[in-house]
Amino acid sequence: MRGLINNKIMARMGLIALIALFASFNVSVVNAQAEAAAPAEKQTAARGLNINEILSAVSRASSADGRANAAREQKFKAEQGRQQGRLNAMTNERARQERISDQLDAEYAVNKITIEELQGELAKELGDLQQLFGVIQQNASEAQEDYKTSLISAEYRGRSEKLQIMVGKMASLTELVSMDEIEDLWVEFQNEMTEQGKIKTITVPVNVKVGTETDEEGTEYPVYEATDQRVTRVGVFNAVFDDQIAIFNEDVGLVALDRSMGGDFVSMSKDLQSATSGVVPFKLDPSGGVGNGILRALVKQPSIFEKVQEGGIVGYVILFLGLIALIIAAIRFIALSGIKSAVDKQAKDLKRPSIANPLGRILSVYQDNPKSDAESMELKLGEVLLKESPGITKWIMIIKIIAVVAPLLGLLGTVTGMIQTFQAITLYGAGDPQTMAGGISQALVTTVLGLVVAIPSVFLHWLTSSKAKVIEETLEEHVLGLVADQNDEVGHH
């Protein structure tokens, strides 16, 4: 700091010297031109060369800067003293904390030895009780986990929390369980075994799903509403009310499944709820609804309509084609049955042909050409037979085409579904076999739909084409007979 002040003073002294040199040069010039200058100009030059005033101003500025620098230096020295005081205080505090740390380390070592000695004395005093407490702790821990999902806990709430406190106490090295607590554990075990063999109807709150909400991250989660319901509990296996199934959740209690069982389970459930005595058939869930229980898995099974929806657009196209094949087959079967009936009726009265049926139209041609030779008559009747054939077999080929196209469309849907499944595996991995199996199942739905449509379509095609073929064969028989009759008549004449 002192060097900085000295540098500033030296710079100002240099500036003063330059001003003085410039002033001396001006004085010399003025003296050299004194004789030629006017009196007014001499007075002006004299006023411009007042060096004393310049030196006085520089001296005053230098004194002010000196005083400011001195004050600033004094302030810096005072601040340095305060910082040094703080440093000394922190150094003393560190030394004090180090002494405390050393003292605590020594106390910790002594306490550690004392605890080890006390633990040894405790183990010696416990003796066989230590093994007993270990068995009690193990059984209490297992019971605690079982009670979290047990349907009996819906009636006896708080059992799991009580056992959790007991297990924590037995795991502690400073507390022991009392005889009363051990007896309470025995009572809980006994109550669980007793309740497992009972069928009871109780009124408890049941959480029913009423909708879904979306959080800030866009994830949907279900929203439940708790209402009191009369629930029939079958041991630890099933809990039913109305036509629904309930499972137990430790956090919220009984929760109704989103869907109910189909088939005869609902009727059996209602019979059980209304029964007061006797034997009632009922389907039990051996898993008790724990995790992905049997009933929960069966409830998740999609219905036929849901399976059809999994087929997507290809599945809907296949079903639409199947509906078309069924409609065509029904229409043609009815129409062919009517034609067959009319032909059979006409065959019984060949003398009075009716143009309302194919055989009648053939007979009309025969009767309209009585003088034609056999060859000409055969051509005329053959021409009429060819005209009648498309009317008999029309639309039947469409059924056959649908029977061929349906399985091909099913294969197309399966291939596209498998491609999507493998793309998902590529993006998200195959860590969840259930998801991968679900994708493959959806892909195979279209194949099933294709076969479901193709197999009946083949049968419908056979049915309608056979009926049309019978009619055509009947017409051909009568045409051959008429040609033979015409041949006989021509030969007779």
pLDDT tens for 396-407 read: 999 999 999 999
Residue 41 has pLDDT above 90, yes or no: no
- Same domain for 319 and 449? yes
Helix then strand then coil, in percent of the chain rounded to 5, is 70, 10, 20
* Domain stop point among 149, 168, 196: 196
- Same domain for 349 and 391? yes
Is 146 a domain residue?
Answer: yes
Mean pLDDT of 19-31: 43
Residue 129 has pLDDT above 60, yes or no: yes
**Dihedral of the alpha carbons of 474, 478, 480, 485, in degrees to the nearest 10:** 160
Determine contact, residues 442/310, Cβ cutoff 8 Å: yes
Measured distance between the N- and C-terminal CA atoms of the chain, rounded to whole angstroms: 157
Kind of pairing between the strands at 199-214 and 220-234 = antiparallel
Is 423 a domain residue?
Answer: yes
Q: Check residue 354 and give left, alpha or beta (phi > 0: left; psi -120 to 50: alpha).
A: beta
Is 113 a domain residue?
Answer: no
* Domain stop point among 168, 196, 224: 196
Is 358 a domain residue?
Answer: yes
- Same domain for 140 and 17? no
- Same domain for 359 and 233? no
pLDDT top residue among 4 and 139: 139
Least confident of 68-72, 121-125, 338-342, 347-351: 121-125
Distance CA 468, CA 333 (A): 9
Residue 117 has pLDDT above 80, yes or no: yes
* Structural domain for 140, as ranges: 128-196
Summarize pLDDT for 149-172 with one digit per residue, the tens. Answer: 788 888 888 788 888 888 877 777
In the prediction, which pLDDT does 437 show?
A: 66
In the prediction, which pLDDT does 34 show?
A: 39
How many CB atoms lie under 10 A from the CB of residue 127? 9
- Same domain for 212 and 256? yes
Determine contact, residues 359/347, Cβ cutoff 8 Å: yes
Listed in sequence order, the DSSP H helices in 127-178 are 128-147, 159-171
- Decide: residue 362, CB within 10 A, 0-12 exposed, 13-18 middle, 19+ buried: buried
- Same domain for 447 and 409? yes
- Same domain for 183 and 212? no
Is 106 a domain residue?
Answer: no
Q: Express as a percent the part of the chain with pLDDT over 90.
A: 18
Q: Three-class SS of residue 288?
A: coil
pLDDT top residue among 280 and 263: 280
- Residue-level length of the chain: 493
Residue 220 has pLDDT above 90, yes or no: no
Question: What single-letter DSSP state applies at residue 259?
Answer: S
Kind of pairing between the strands at 199-214 and 253-256 = parallel
* Domain stop point among 157, 180, 196: 196
Picking from 307, 273, 105, the residue whose alpha carbon sits closest to that of residue 200 is 273
Model pTM score: 0.55
Listed in sequence order, the residues at least 6 apart from 166 whose beta carbon sits closer than 8 Å to its beta carbon are 140, 177, 181, 185
Residue 20 has pLDDT above 90, yes or no: no
Distance from the Cα of residue 198 to its chain's centroid: 39
Distance from the Cα of residue 27 to its chain's centroid: 101
In the prediction, which pLDDT does 463 show?
A: 94
In the prediction, which pLDDT does 35 show?
A: 42
Please report which helix (H) or strand (E) contains residue 201, including its range. Answer: strand 199-214
Mean pLDDT of 166-195: 80
Residue 240 has pLDDT above 60, yes or no: yes
- Same domain for 141 and 237? no
- Same domain for 345 and 424? yes
- Same domain for 336 and 436? yes
Q: Check residue 224 and give left, alpha or beta (phi > 0: left; psi -120 to 50: alpha).
A: beta
Is 80 a domain residue?
Answer: yes
List of E strands, 235-351: 238-241, 244-249, 253-256
Please report which helix (H) or strand (E) contains residue 222, including its range. Answer: strand 220-234
In the prediction, which pLDDT does 173 show?
A: 58
- Number of folded domains that form the chain: 4
List phi, psi (to 5°) of 113: -65, -40
Distance CA 485, CA 306 (A): 64
Residue 318 has pLDDT above 90, yes or no: yes
Summarize pLDDT for 338-360 with one digit per residue, the tens. Answer: 998 988 888 888 888 888 888 88
Distance CA 134, CA 49 (A): 112
Mean pLDDT of the chain: 79
- Same domain for 149 and 181? yes
Is 202 a domain residue?
Answer: yes
Residue 267 has pLDDT above 90, yes or no: no
Distance from the Cα of residue 182 to its chain's centroid: 45
- Same domain for 192 and 206? no
Please report which helix (H) or strand (E) contains residue 236, including its range. Answer: none
Distance CA 145, CA 163 (A): 10
Mean pLDDT of 465-486: 83
Is 26 a domain residue?
Answer: yes
In the prediction, which pLDDT does 457 show?
A: 95
Picking from 382, 385, 378, 384, the residue whose alpha carbon sits closest to that of residue 484 is 378
Least confident of 5-14, 150-159, 272-281, 351-360: 5-14
Distance CA 236, CA 197 (A): 8
